[in-house]
């Protein structure tokens, strides 16, 4: 896995500033903006896979319809697993908060809340293992079945779980550093960092898929 390549390749495109600008605008527009930019990055993954190249394409305003069509599937692949776990987490915490209020000073309730948050960490990792093949499968397959293909998800996770975990850690560290930089820039920097990290994420997803195929994985 070429982790730093996911950052340096961005600036090989002379119009990198315009791509980041489109990413910033996408971050400001709720949901639909995310789908558009995800579609742009999904098209990058598809084109790079077909051409066996490693380039960041120009953001073409004439292809907004294509970006929307492509982006809806990886968006669902990210959103549905995340929202399912999010509801469970919120339900558990609100339930424990209610019991805490009812029990007043019962310390066991506070311990239970802490344990719930600790348990959430491995659950979030499991969701990440599911989410990555869902997003890749949805991007390449462009339908609901490919997005949530159980066989592909299990096979991809079996062959790539270590690499997916390392990508998760890398993006987590990059995200934490980015949040710090954004805070130092009075939160304005966060809008610049968001598309930057997202491009890195998708470049790494492309690397994961190519490595999966090298290990005998089934093409989408």
Does residue 40 contact residue 71 with C-beta atoms inside 8 Å? yes
Residue 189: predicted pLDDT: 63
Q: How confident is the model at residue 116 (pLDDT cuts 50, 70, 90)?
A: low
User: Which range has the worst mean pLDDT, 105-119, 162-176, 190-204?
Assistant: 105-119
Does residue 107 contact residue 99 with C-beta atoms inside 8 Å? no
Q: How confident is the model at residue 88 (pLDDT cuts 50, 70, 90)?
A: low
Q: 10 Å Cβ neighbour count for 180? A: 12
- Residues 6 or more apart whose CB falls under 8 angstroms from that of 183 comprise 189, 190
Write phi, then psi, for 118 (nearest 5 degrees). -70, -40
Q: Looking at per-residue confidence, does 105 or 45 come out higher?
A: 45
Q: Looking at per-residue confidence, does 123 or 107 come out higher?
A: 123
The average pLDDT across 84-106 equals 57
Domain residue ranges of the chain, discontinuous segments joined by +: 5-214
- Tell me: the pLDDT tens digits for 163-185? 999 999 998 888 778 777 766 66
- Written in H, E and C, the secondary structure of the chain is CCCCHHHHHHHHCCCHHHHHHHHHHHHHCCCHHHHHHHHHHHHHHHHHHHHCCCCCCCCCHHHHHHHHHHHHHHHHHHHHHHHHHHHHHHHHHHHHHHHHHHHCCCHHHHHHHHHHHHHHHHHHHHHHHHHHHHHHHHHHHCCHHHHCCHHHHHHHHHHHHHHHHHHHHHHHHHHHHHHHHHHHCCCHHHHHHHHHHHHHHHHHHHHHHHHHHHCCCCCC
pTM: 0.84
**119 Cα distance to chain centroid:** 21
């Amino acid at each position: 896995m070429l982790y730093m390549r996911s950052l340096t390749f961005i600036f090989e495109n002379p119009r990198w500033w315009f791509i980041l600008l489109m990413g910033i605008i996408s971050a400001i527009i709720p949901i639909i903006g995310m789908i558009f930019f995800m579609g742009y990055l999904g098209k990058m993954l598809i084109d790079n896979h077909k051409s066996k190249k490693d380039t960041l394409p120009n953001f073409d305003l004439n292809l907004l319809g294509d970006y929307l069509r492509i982006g809806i599937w990886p968006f669902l692949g990210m959103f549905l697993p995340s929202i399912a776990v999010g509801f469970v987490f919120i339900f558990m915490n609100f339930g424990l908060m209610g019991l805490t209020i009812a029990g007043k000073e019962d310390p066991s309730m506070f311990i239970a809340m802490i344990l719930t948050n600790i348990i959430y960490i491995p659950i979030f990792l499991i969701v990440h293992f599911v989410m990555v093949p869902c997003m890749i499968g949805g991007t390449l397959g462009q339908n609901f079945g490919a997005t949530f293909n159980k066989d592909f998800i299990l096979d991809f996770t079996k062959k790539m779980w270590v690499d997916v975990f390392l990508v998760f850690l890398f993006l987590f560290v990059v995200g934490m550093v980015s949040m710090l930089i954004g805070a130092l820039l009075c939160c304005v920097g966060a809008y610049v960092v968001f598309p930057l990290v997202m491009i890195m994420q998708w470049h790494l997803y492309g690397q994961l898929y190519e490595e999966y195929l090298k290990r005998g994985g089934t093409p989408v």
